[in-house]
């Protein structure tokens, strides 16, 4: 073989060996550089992805916390207080023994010669209306018939008081009454106790008053005996169907609401020139303090002034039947709702004696009232003075 052929053969073998070893050193360096770059990019990408995932996780956790706080806040706003709701006040202070039971209404003397009354500071609702010759009379209602103290002084029935008591499905206590009042009790089939029949377990003359007051101002009710006497007389104790919800639509306790922005710090309900009730708002305790014809309306046993969360001053047609006794339209009229330092014009209705009072705004929408004790004064049109 010639030298040229031997050289060509050797070059071919060397090229085959280089190809089998994967290329030149330069090619290897380029590939390593490329791999390192790719590795760096992948590592950077992983870090970015990890950072994004961490941020996303934190955002999700923050969102969960905010959602949890919002849910807790929402739940807190609608939490119902513990206890049994008193259907006459919307407060959750009813005893277990009184759940589902009927309320009690007691007629209260309000003539100046009979003052002070006792036992009425704890009443849930107090009505005031004219009884005779411009003299007003009270009817006090308790939603818990196990918590009624001794109450003095008891007075007689009038037909419109009977109708308002029937609207609460109440057991009615009185000392006699006008013919119209007694007839209305019979017509409506109202469970009642009449002191004229001398049940000494529930009625008695106050011996401490007998030397100083006229006889008609000395009769008191033994409140603690009322539950037992209701059962003894065979009266129904459970509230009738249709009377197991609250008497009004109440806001939750501790969260008073102002239905308007029209402020009112004082009002007067005129029953006559001699008998009128004044209410002054106290911003500190958010209560209305009652005056009786220009003097603080004090209660003897508690030595406190009568106070209320709500004042309903209602107007209707009132007239005299005989120049002495009075009559009124108990089916409705206009009026005002006072609470939380403001006043709202209202329309009230009571279609039948067995219906409760419904309170609506001037657009015809039923309103909510604040939880607490309520005074309801019913008088003639244009006899309510707002200051």
The answer to whether the beta carbons of residues 148 and 187 sit under 8 Å apart is no
Beta bridge partners of 105: 141, 172
342-384-125 Cα angle (round to 5)? 70
* Residue of 204 and 6 predicted with greater confidence: 204
Tell me how far apart the alpha carbons of residues 204 and 165 are, in angstroms, rounded to a whole number.
23
More confident residue, 52 or 335: 335
Contact at 8 Å (CB) between 270 and 352?
no
Question: Does residue 165 surpass a pLDDT of 80?
Answer: yes
CA distance 224 to 150: 7
The residues facing 290 across adjacent strands are 279
Judged against a pLDDT cut of 90, whether residue 378 lies above it is answered with: yes
The tokens for 245 are 């919800």
User: What pLDDT does residue 77 have?
Assistant: 58
Residue that wins the pLDDT comparison between 355 and 255: 355
Instruction: Work out whether the CA dihedral 211, 214, 215, 221 comes out positive or negative.
Output: negative
Which residue stretches of the chain are H helix? 3-20, 25-77, 159-166, 179-188, 226-232
Cα–Cα distance for residue pair 117/119, rounded to 1 Å: 7
- The closest of 80, 98, 108 to 375, measured between CA atoms, is 108
pLDDT at 376 over 50: yes
For 31-61, the pLDDT digits (tens) are 333 334 434 444 444 445 444 454 444 444 4
CB atoms within 10 A of CB 382: 8
Q: pLDDT for 186-231, tens place per residue?
A: 999 999 999 999 999 999 999 999 999 999 999 999 999 999 999 9
Query: What is the value of pTM for the model shown?
Result: 0.81
Rg (CA), the chain: 41
Alpha carbons 368 and 45: distance in angstroms, whole number: 62
Q: State the pLDDT at residue 80.
A: 84
What is residue 323's predicted lDDT score, i.e. its pLDDT? 85
What pLDDT was estimated at residue 78?
Answer: 64
- The b-or-e profile of 104-114 (16+ CB within 10 A means b, else e) is bbbbbbbbeeb
User: How far is the C-alpha of 134 from the C-alpha of 152, rounded, in Å?
Assistant: 21
pLDDT of residue 157: 98
All domains in the chain, ordered by first residue: 96-386 (3.50.90.10)
Assigned token pair, 157: 């029935």
Tell how far CA 133 is from the center of its chain.
36
């Amino acid at each position: 073989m010639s030298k040229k052929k031997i050289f060509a053969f050797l070059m071919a073998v060397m090229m085959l060996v280089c190809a089998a070893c994967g290329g030149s050193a330069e090619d290897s360096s380029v590939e390593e550089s490329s791999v390192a770059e790719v590795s760096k990019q992948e590592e950077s990408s992983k870090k970015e992805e990890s950072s994004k995932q961490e941020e996303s996780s934190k955002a999700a956790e923050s969102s969960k916390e905010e959602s949890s706080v919002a849910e807790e806040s929402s739940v807190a706003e609608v939490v119902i207080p513990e206890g049994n709701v008193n259907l006459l006040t919307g407060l959750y202070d009813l005893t277990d023994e009184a759940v589902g039971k009927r309320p009690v209404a007691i007629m209260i003397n309000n003539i100046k010669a009979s003052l002070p009354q006792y036992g009425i500071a704890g009443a849930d609702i107090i009505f005031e209306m004219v009884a005779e010759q411009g003299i007003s009379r009270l009817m006090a209602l308790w939603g818990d018939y196990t918590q009624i103290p001794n109450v003095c002084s008891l007075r007689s029935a009038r037909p419109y008081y009977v109708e308002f008591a029937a609207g609460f499905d109440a057991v009615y206590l009185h000392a006699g009454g006008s013919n119209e009042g007694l007839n209305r009790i019979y017509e409506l089939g109202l469970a009642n106790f009449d002191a004229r029949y001398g049940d000494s377990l529930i009625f008695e003359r106050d011996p401490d008053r007998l030397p100083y007051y006229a006889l008609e101002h000395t009769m008191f009710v033994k409140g603690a005996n009322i539950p037992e006497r209701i059962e003894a007389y065979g009266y129904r104790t459970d509230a009738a169907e249709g009377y197991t919800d609250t008497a009004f639509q109440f806001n939750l306790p501790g969260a008073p609401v102002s239905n308007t922005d029209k402020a009112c710090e004082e009002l007067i309900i005129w029953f006559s020139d001699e008998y009128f009730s004044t209410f002054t708002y106290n911003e500190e305790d958010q209560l209305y303090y009652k005056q009786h014809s220009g003097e603080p309306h004090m209660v003897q046993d508690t030595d406190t002034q009568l106070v209320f969360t709500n004042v309903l001053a209602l107007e209707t047609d009132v007239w005299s039947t005989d120049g002495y006794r009075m009559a009124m339209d108990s089916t409705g009229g206009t009026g005002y709702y006072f609470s939380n330092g403001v006043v709202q014009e209202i329309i009230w209705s009571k279609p039948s004696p067995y219906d409760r009072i419904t309170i609506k705004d001037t657009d015809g929408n039923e309103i909510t009232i604040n939880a607490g004790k309520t005074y309801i004064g019913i008088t003639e049109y244009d006899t309510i003075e707002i200051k």
